[in-house]
Homo-oligomer: A and B are copies of this chain.
Amino acid sequence: MSQKSETPQKPDSSEPDIITVAAAPVKERRDTRDNDEIDAELITPEQIEDFALKDDYALNPQYISLVIDAADRGDGLRLRELLDALHYADIADLLGFLSQDYREEVIPWIPSDALADILPELDDDIREEVIESMHTADIAEVLQELDSDDAAAVFEDLEEDQQKAVLAAMPESEREAIVTSLAYEEETAGRLMQREVMAAPAFWTVGHTIDHMRENGDDLPELFFDIYVIDPSHKPVGAVPVSVLMRTKRDLPLSQLMEPITEITVDQDQEEVAYVFEKYHLISAPVVDESGRLVGQITVDDIVNIIQAENREDILALGGVSDIEGRDTGIMGMVKSRLPWLLINLATAFASVTVINAFQGEIVKMVVLASLMPVVASIGGNFGTQALTVSVRALSARELTAANATRTLWREVVSGWLVGACVAAGLAAVTFIFWHDLKLAGVIAGAILINFTMAALAGTLIPMGASKLGIDPAGASPIFVTLVTDFCGFFSFLGLAAIILL
């Protein structure tokens, strides 16, 4: 197991009998976690670690209750005891589960050695709360413990005057690292990378490289997976995985071991970087500046976070939630992230109102039209959403490009006809059974076929067009697809009815 930061419970393994302790908790945990009968109040400090996590590694709600009880009692010692047993990632998770009042109670009791690791894990709002509770000197100290990418991420959330105070309290080199990192644009490789990297010239031998690393251990990144081979102008020309270095004869030069590299440039978008990592199964990649010189590296553990963040954005955007909402978003934040989309929908909904209004005479003559028309609109809308979802996902995975756009569109339209024919047949049958009107059944079937065709076109062309224009297809498309299927649904059904039935 590799972790970027030290875990709090590092065993003192100089005594051999303690070695097994490192493995034991996991087994014990799985045993006790199955047992819900434990009286939570009686949990001893030794049992907390096993009790805190459930079987699926989510925090145990009973453990969270213990924390809340201790906070209610103002029992700081118990809080410290409860927090001490947790991995830093779980402490960050815990803060997300607490309401703001309880967070304020709990934050002062977070072990100070865990604080540095916790900060990068927190959502923005909570991180701000934690930092507000810290002295400038402590913030400066915490930033120095972090890798440059994490330090910059925490730093950029500080208030401007706080930033100045923190910078003043930091040593020259660390200060420069943060300022350099922030000079790159947000969401670029430059921000994402860590500057600490292990590099060596191609003529170095395996033995010399290992000896060098052993002598300069303190200056190396805490964890690294590749040694980048650089030319005299500091440009990366290859990489040697440490596991390869380790099993190779000492007298071989790196030039004979190195593998080709996939370079990342500092200004590349983080989403593009994630795509490259995923496509080529990279573990780490060198980052170069405009002139091609090695300035840092990006490792796959950072990429996992990016991938999750991008997916979260896609899912929420498709659901019509414009800002990123987490469990700590306040009510006003929720309103802000949802209202705009609904108001736009309200505007587009009046397109349907206008269509229906135009057919008021027909509806009064044959009121069953009013009952059936929402079915045509909503089923068409559902098919449009299906086509849209598939297209948005394919676009974001770069599986839909100019190379297969025409074929994809054609496939969607044909499947729209087939699916539409099935739905139309079913709907026509039900309509005939209930209203004994063959023409009405025909009208609704025809309207479904028209609307499914439009839905297939809209669900494919709208996200493709958005992507072509550089707009996020997940965010903008659902409104327009629904507009098309609502409008066409009501218009085709009521229009066909006016022509054929009345």
Complex contacts, A300 vs chain B, CB 8 Å? 283, 300-301, 304
A357: Cβ under 8 A from any B Cβ = yes
- Please, what's the 1-or-0 string for A399-438, where 1 marks a CB less than 8 Å from any CB in chain B? 1111110011001101100110011001100100000000
Q: Which residues of A (300-342) have their CB < 8 Å from a CB of B?
A: 300-301, 303-305, 307-308, 311-312, 314-316, 318-321, 325-327, 331, 334-335, 338-339, 341-342
Pairwise interchain contact B486-A374, C-beta atoms closer than 8 A: yes
Stretch at the interface among A104-112, A164-172, A386-394: A386-394
Q: Which residues of B contact A325 (CB under 8 A)?
A: 390
- Assuming A26-B262, A57-B279, A235-B23, is B388 touching A319 (CB within 8 A)? yes
- Interface residue? A183 (CB, 8 A): no
B246–A402 touching, CB < 8 Å = no
Give 1 or 0 for each of A79-122: 1 = CB within 8 Å of chain B CB: 00000000101100100110100000000000000000000000
The interface size bin for chain A is 35 or more
The answer to whether A319 and B363 have CB atoms under 8 Å apart is no
Q: What DSSP secondary structure best describes chain A's contact surface?
A: helix
Asked if B335 contacts A23 (CB within 8 A), the reply is: no
A260 in contact with B2 given A292-B27, A304-B303, A426-B346 (CB within 8 Å): no
- What separation, in Å, do the CA atoms of A244 and B382 have in the docked complex? 54
Asked if B2 and A241 make an inter-chain contact with CB atoms under 8 angstroms apart, the answer reads yes
A14 and B255 contact, CB distance less than 8 A: yes
Q: Could you list some 18 contacts between A and B, CB below 8 A?
A: A13-B255, A19-B231, A22-B260, A23-B261, A57-B398, A58-B398, A61-B401, A61-B403, A89-B279, A214-B246, A223-B244, A281-B304, A338-B415, A342-B379, A350-B430, A352-B374, A360-B370, A374-B377
In chain A between 345 and 377, which residues have their CB closer than 8 angstroms to a CB of chain B? Answer: 345-346, 349-350, 352-353, 356-357, 360, 363-364, 367-368, 370-375, 377
Q: Within the complex, what minimum Cβ distance (angstroms) separates A473 from chain B?
A: 12
Query: B276 near A57 (CB under 8 angstroms)?
Result: yes
B-side contacts of A3, CB under 8 Å? 259, 280-282
Residue A220 CB within 8 A of the other chain: yes
Question: CB distance A248 to B214 under 8 Å?
Answer: yes
Selected interface stretch from A4-12, A40-48, A133-141, A151-159: A4-12
A355: nearest chain-B partner, CB-CB = B371
Say yes or no: is A224 at the interface (Cβ < 8 Å to chain B).
yes
What chain B residues lie within 8 Å of A225 (beta carbons)?
2, 225, 242-243, 283
For A393, what are the chain B residues with a Cβ–Cβ distance below 8 Å?
Answer: 312, 315-316
Q: Check: A59 CB closer than 8 A to any chain B CB.
A: yes
- Asked if A256 is at the interface of the complex by the 8 Å CB criterion, the answer is yes
**Centre residue among A210, A285, A370 by max chain B CB count within 10 A:** A370
A-B pairs with lowest CB-CB distance, top 8: A319-B389, A217-B247, A2-B283, A61-B403, A61-B402, A334-B415, A356-B371, A370-B370
Contacting residues of chain A (157-209) with chain B, CB-CB under 8 angstroms: 198, 202-203
Please determine whether A404 and B97 come into contact, CB atoms closer than 8 angstroms: yes
**Quick one: which of B260, B353, B412 contacts A9, CB cutoff 8 A?**
B260
The answer to whether B246 and A96 have CB atoms under 8 Å apart is no
Q: Decide yes or no whether A245 CB sits under 8 A from chain B.
A: yes
Q: Are B279 and A93 in contact (CB under 8 A)?
A: yes
Residue numbers in B under 8 Å from A371 (CB-CB): 353, 356-357, 360
What is the minimal beta-carbon distance from A222 to any residue of chain B, in angstroms?
A: 8
A9 to B301, CA, bound (A): 27
Q: How far is the CB of A421 from chain B (nearest CB, A)?
A: 10
Q: Which residues of chain A from 37 to 86 have any CB-CB distance to chain B below 8 Å in the complex?
A: 56-59, 61, 64-65
A335 touching B399, Cβ below 8 Å: no
Instruction: Report if A128 contacts B (CB, 8 A).
Output: no
> Nearest-CB distance from A242 to chain B (Å)?
4
The listed residue (B97, B237, B315) touching A20 by CB distance below 8 A is B237
CB distance from A119 to the nearest CB of B (A): 14
Q: A22-B260, A321-B389, A339-B419 are in contact. List 11 more A-B contacts (CB 8 A).
A: A23-B237, A57-B272, A87-B280, A224-B243, A225-B242, A335-B418, A338-B419, A342-B382, A343-B426, A353-B375, A370-B373
- Cβ-based interface call for A385 (8 A): yes
Which chain B residues border A283 with CB–CB below 8 Å?
1-2, 223, 225, 283, 300-301
Within 8 Å CB of A321, what residues of B?
386, 389-390
- B interface footprint on A249-283 (CB within 8 Å = 1, 0 otherwise): 11000011011111101000000100111111111
Kindly report which residue of chain B lies nearest to residue A301, judged by CB atoms.
B281
A75 to chain B, nearest CB (A): 19
| A443 interface contact, C-beta 8 A | no
Judge whether B23 and A423 touch: CB under 8 Å.
no
